[in-house]
Amino acid sequence: MTTAAPRPVLEVRDLVTHFPVRAGVVKAVDGVSFSIERGKTLCVVGESGSGKSVTARSILQIVDAPGRIVAGSMVLNRADGSSVDLATLDPRGRAIRAIRGAEIAMIFQEPMSSLNPAITVGRQIGEPVNLHRGTPWEGALARARELLGLVSNPDAAARVNAYPHQFSGGMRQRARIAMALACEPQLIIADEPTTALDVTVQAQILDLLQDLAKKANSALILLTHDLGVVARYANRVIVMYGGRVVETAPAAELYARPAHPYTRGLMASIPRLDGDTRQRLVPIEGSPPDLSALPPGCAFAPRCKLASERCRAERPVLREIGPNHLKSCFVDD
Ligand code: ADP
Ligand code: MG
């Protein structure tokens, strides 16, 4: 007997997000597709400027002006069987505001900028509970205390009346996680949530985030430039370059058989703590593409040692090269 694949909580298809600027059009997201199921972690990896944050912000319709979604669909499938295409919602409308922080929560890189310095941590954690669930403030604050204890330790619950500046960087990000979990979202998007933190705190915070997301059976999208993070947390990986997905695979498969020259380049550029210490770090030569002037062919071709005339002339599309493993590359064809 075969069981049907679970319905993804989010299905993104051919998402295109542009920034019309004076110099032209910045194609920050240029035809991105992926899906994610509840209880799973999807890592989106790529160098700075590859379109990770704009992809995440597109999902919640919080792309900075003058950016806008120009094509694609982003279908949110709810547990009750209903669905909504987030791409069709008005960014300022009631429907998306009811989803943000309730059905889909986002955690940003710098916790200070997403916490209000003038409001106690407890009120900020309780706010989504009050706003989305209509729980009276007394109950919302009790929930905030409970959540703060959950993301830290029972003593931390007593600090519910503290202000963000009275917390350490790590504790602020724990509070942000508590806020994200407050309404038991189906999907949590974390955008480089530990990049601003001390290395020793990073793993604790990510372990906590994944553990709590799993317990709540929420899907987790983790954006990172760090392949070490990917190796530790991802079930599935999408590798982005120049606003496009260049490779996607289950995490174990990607590490066993990285196929795209860019993915291989990223892997060669991470320090190996466990491996041969004589092996040198090989950074990828060249710089990321100008997204307002992408070449006609493969966006990576100008930096790719294996690029041919075809790579420079024709844009490769994603195609399956193994079970659930896709790449967009002509090399080895
Ligand atoms: P990543 O998160 O992978 O580092 P981003 O998604 O933040 O990359 O950005 C992708 C590209 O989108 C950037 O290189 C930049 O050119 C463009 N971009 C992002 N925000 C803006 C903006 N507000 N105005 C113009 N271009 C932007
Ligand atoms: Mg980013």
Map the chain to HEC letters: CCCCCCCCCEEEEEEEEEEEECCEEEEEEEEEEEEECCCCEEEEECCCCCCHHHHHHHHCCCCCCCCEEEEEEEEEECCCCCEEEHHHCCCCCHHHHHHECCCEEEECCCHHHHCCCCCCHHHHHHHHHHHHHCCCHHHHHHHHHHHHHHHCCHHHHHHHHCCHHHCCHHHHHHHHHHHHHCCCCCEEEEECCCCCCCHHHHHHHHHHHHHHHHHCCCEEEEEECCHHHHHHHCCEEEEEECCEEEEEEEHHHHHHCCCCHHHHHHHHCCCCCCCCCCCCCCCCCCCCCCCCCCCCCCCCHHHCCCCCHHHHHCCCCCEEEECCEEECCCCCC
Q: 322 pLDDT exceeds 70? A: yes
Measured from the CB, is residue 50 less than 6 Å from ligand 1?
yes
* Mean predicted lDDT score pLDDT of the chain: 92
pLDDT of residue 200: 83
Q: What's the pLDDT score for residue 157?
A: 84
Model pLDDT, residue 307: 95
- Return the ∠ at Cα 44 (arms to 43 and 46), rounded to 5°: 130
Task: Write down the pLDDT at residue 214.
Answer: 96
Q: What is the distance between the alpha carbons of residues 226 and 324, in angstroms, rounded to a whole number?
A: 22
User: How far apart, in whole angstroms, are the C-alpha atoms of residue 110 and residue 164?
Assistant: 12
Q: Would you say residue 275 has pLDDT above 70?
A: no
Confidence of residue 279 (pLDDT cuts 50, 70, 90): low
Residue 316 has pLDDT above 80, yes or no: yes
- Ligand 2 center–CA 239 separation, angstroms: 14
Average pLDDT over residues 266-276: 68
Q: Is the pLDDT of residue 113 over 80?
A: no
Predicted confidence at residue 133, as pLDDT, reads: 93
**pLDDT tier at 188, thresholds 50, 70, 90:** very high
Tell me which of 196 and 168 has the higher pLDDT.
168
Q: What is the mean pLDDT of residues 43-52?
A: 95
User: Residue 110 pLDDT > 80, yes or no?
Assistant: no
Q: How far is the CA of 301 from the centre of ligand 1 (A)?
A: 21
Question: Which phi and psi angles does 222 have, rounded to 5°?
Answer: -115, 115
What is the reported pLDDT for 112? 61
What was the pLDDT predicted at 73? 98
Q: Counting ligands in written order, which one lies closest to the CA of residue 29? A: 1
22 C-beta closer than 6 A to ligand 1: no
Pocket test for ligand 1, best of 15, 16, 19, 241 (most atoms within 8 A of CB): 19
Instruction: Kindly tell me if the per-residue pLDDT of 111 is higher than 70.
Output: no
For residues 110 and 31, which has the higher predicted lDDT (pLDDT)?
Answer: 31
Query: Ligand 2: distance of its center to the CA of 300 in Å?
Result: 19
Mean of pLDDT values over 144-152: 93
Strand ranges of the sheet holding 24-36, from the earlier edge strand across to the other edge: 24-36, 10-21, 68-77, 83-85
Quote the pLDDT of residue 4: 66
Instruction: Give the CB-side neighbour count of residue 75, counting CA atoms within 13 A.
Output: 13
Residue 54 beta carbon below 6 angstroms from any ligand 1 atom: yes
Per-residue pLDDT band at 58 (split at 50, 70, 90): very high
Residue 126 has pLDDT above 90, yes or no: yes
* pLDDT at residue number 1: 52
Query: What spacing in Å lies between the alpha carbon of 225 and ligand 2's midpoint?
Result: 9
Q: How far does residue 42's CA lie from ligand 1's centre (Å)?
A: 21
40: number of Cβ within 10 Å: 20
Evaluate: CB of 52 within 6 angstroms of ligand 1. yes
List pLDDT tens digits, range 92-107: 999 999 999 999 999 9
